[in-house]
Structure formats: C-alpha cells, structure tokens
Amino acid sequence: MSCCFGVNGGEVKSLSPEEAFRACSGGVCALLGDATTVPRKLQLRRGDRLDVGDKQKLWTVHDGVVALCSSLADGRRQIACLATASNLLCAPQDRDGLGLWVEALAPSWICELDISSRAQSIAEDAALGAELLRIVQDQSNCIYTHLVTLGRLDGMERVCLFLADMAWRIGEHRVDGYHVRLPLARDDIADYLGLNAETVSRIFSRVKKSRLADFRSPTEYVVRDIEALQRRSPIAAPHSPSAAVNDNLGEAV
C-alpha cells in the first residue's frame, strides 16, 4: 500500500503504514484502525486543506491548530470549530451551497482516519458505534455553543471568550498568569468569531487597554486574571475546567 500523498500542494510527510499505525495507536485510532484502515499521519502547513468529500473521516490533532471551515460562493468564510492538540475533529456532511473542508491554521500534525470502509464494522460493533456517537456528540456540543456565541454575543464578548478559551487550551500557566502564543492569524480569528480582521484588531486593543490581557507582541499575550476575562463573556469557555465535562481532551491521542 502506498502511503505518499499530497495535500493541496502542501508537503506532507509520508510514513509507512506500520509507522503511521504505530504513531497513533492510542484512543480512537486503536479502536478504529486495523490492517485495512490505517490512520494517515499528516504534516500540514498553514493553509493546507483536507477535503471532506462524502467519506466519513475522523481527525486527531497532535499538534497545531486545525479548523472546520465553510465558505460561501462569494468568498465569505466561517470557521465552525477549532481543534488544538489532542482534540478530535469530525465533519458534518457537505451541503449545497456550503463548501466544507478541514484547514490547518498553523503548522500542524494530524492523524486522519477514513472510517467509511469500516461501515460494516460500525453497524456490527456496538462499542465502535458508541465511541463514534460520543465523538460526534462532543463536536455537536462545541458547535452548538459557538452558534449561540455568533447569534447573541457582541464583538467584545466573543473576543474575551476566545482569549480565555485559548488560554485554557494552549496557554502556559505560570505564577503571573497564562502565557499564550497565538497560533492563528487575525483573519482566522475573525472568521472563527464571525467578525473581520480589523475589528478583531481593534477589540484586542480595547482588551489590552482595559488590562484584561496584555499583548506582548501581535502573537503573544498574558492573562493575569483569567476569571475576570471569563466574566466579560456570558458564556463559559468550552475548555475551561468548569466546562470540561464535555470536552474530548485527554481521551484523544
């Protein structure tokens, strides 16, 4: 079996099936992978896209940031879901008028599993089905929360929620607060939050001025009081400890 593949022109590290399978032999991959369904381990550069197509696929993010994206005919883009290290991602089915793909927003390592070929197993193996159900539900929860964010929060609330969430997810917790290296560009943040890049930048400035977060550089910020940041948004960050019941952290890998 050949294991070389190109991803929209991106350079993708290729592994032998054995390496790939060994590389990701925990969690879902262990449960779903077998001799015929080998997880593809992919190295993605920022901007690399993976087609969703009509196959049922599953992605495990090992490093970086990967997003579930759609775009309209005129180019408007909306990011529905962000996945960082150890998160799982699964895609809804493509719909008319809605392009749908998975995109790396930063250099990333991910593991792709095409479970279409396992349809038979899923129909027969209850444990497999239950695990898949849990994964789809987790993602559905995540999208649900984000829907409310887009429908009812204003710019400041969305940005504070985002900054707090990123601090929980990828921040380094030191004595003086959470240190975060933002791996996303302003455009990407804007497309995730349903805003535009200039507005995001402006709100970042307001956040800095109000001392809710301290931007050391365009891609680095420090949050001294994450509770205060949280309180600026009426919704709890999906990955905060208090909301951790439903996330899929720690069960992926």
Partner DNA sequence: CGACGTGTTGAGTGGAATCAACTCGCGTGG
Partner DNA sequence: CCACGCGAGTTGATTCCACTCAACACGTCG
Say how many C-beta atoms besides its own lie within 10 A of residue 249's C-beta.
Answer: 16
Among 45, 46, 49, 77, binds its own copies (CB under 8 A): 77
Smallest gap from residue 14 Cβ to DNA (A): 25
Q: If contact means CB under 5 to 8 A according to the sort of partner, which of its own copies, DNA, none does residue 72 touch? A: its own copies
Binding residue count for its own copies, defined by CB under 8 A? 49
Smallest gap from residue 93 Cβ to DNA (A): 28
Q: If contact means CB under 5 to 8 A according to the sort of partner, which of its own copies, DNA, none does residue 120 touch? A: none
- Of 11-19, 27-35, 44-52, 90-98, which segment contacts its own copies by CB under 8 A? 90-98
Smallest gap from residue 197 Cβ to DNA (A): 6
CB contact at 8 A, 136 and 246 = no
Among 23, 31, 136, 222, binds its own copies (CB under 8 A): 136
Scan for tokens 């933002």, then name that residue.
182
Among 92, 107, 201, 249, binds DNA (CB under 7 A): 201
Query: With binding defined as CB under 8 A, does residue 30 bind its own copies?
Result: no
Smallest gap from residue 75 Cβ to DNA (A): 10
Q: If contact means CB under 5 to 8 A according to the sort of partner, which of DNA, its own copies, none does residue 186 touch? A: DNA
Query: With binding defined as CB under 8 A, does residue 8 bind its own copies?
Result: no
Smallest gap from residue 209 Cβ to DNA (A): 9
Which two structure tokens, joined as six digits, stand for 126?
């209850």
Query: With binding defined as CB under 8 A, does residue 78 bind its own copies?
Result: yes
Among 2, 4, 36, 97, binds its own copies (CB under 8 A): 97
Whole-number Å distance between alpha carbons of 151 and 13: 40
Single-letter code of the amino acid located at 18: E
Query: With binding defined as CB under 7 A, does residue 219 bind DNA?
Result: yes
Q: Label each residue of the chain as H, E or C.
A: CCCCCCECCECCCCCCHHHHHHHCCCHHHHHHCCCCCCCEEEEECCCCEEECCCCCEEEEEEECEEEEEEECCCCCEEEEEEEECCCEEECCCCECCEEEEEEECCCEEEEEEECHHHHHHHHHCHHHHHHHHHHHHHHHHHHHHHHHHHHHCCHHHHHHHHHHHHHHHHCEEECCEEEEECCCCHHHHHHHHCCCHHHHHHHHHHHHHCCCCEEEECCEEEECCHHHHHHCCCCCCCCCHHHCCCCCCCCCC
Using the minimum distance from each CB to its own copies, give the nearer residue, 3 or 243. 243
Residue 89, beta-bridge partner list: 59
Which residues of the chain form contacts with its own copies (CB under 8 A)? 70, 72-74, 76-78, 80, 92-93, 95-98, 122-130, 132-133, 136-137, 139-141, 143-148, 150-152, 194, 234-236, 238, 240, 242-243, 245-246
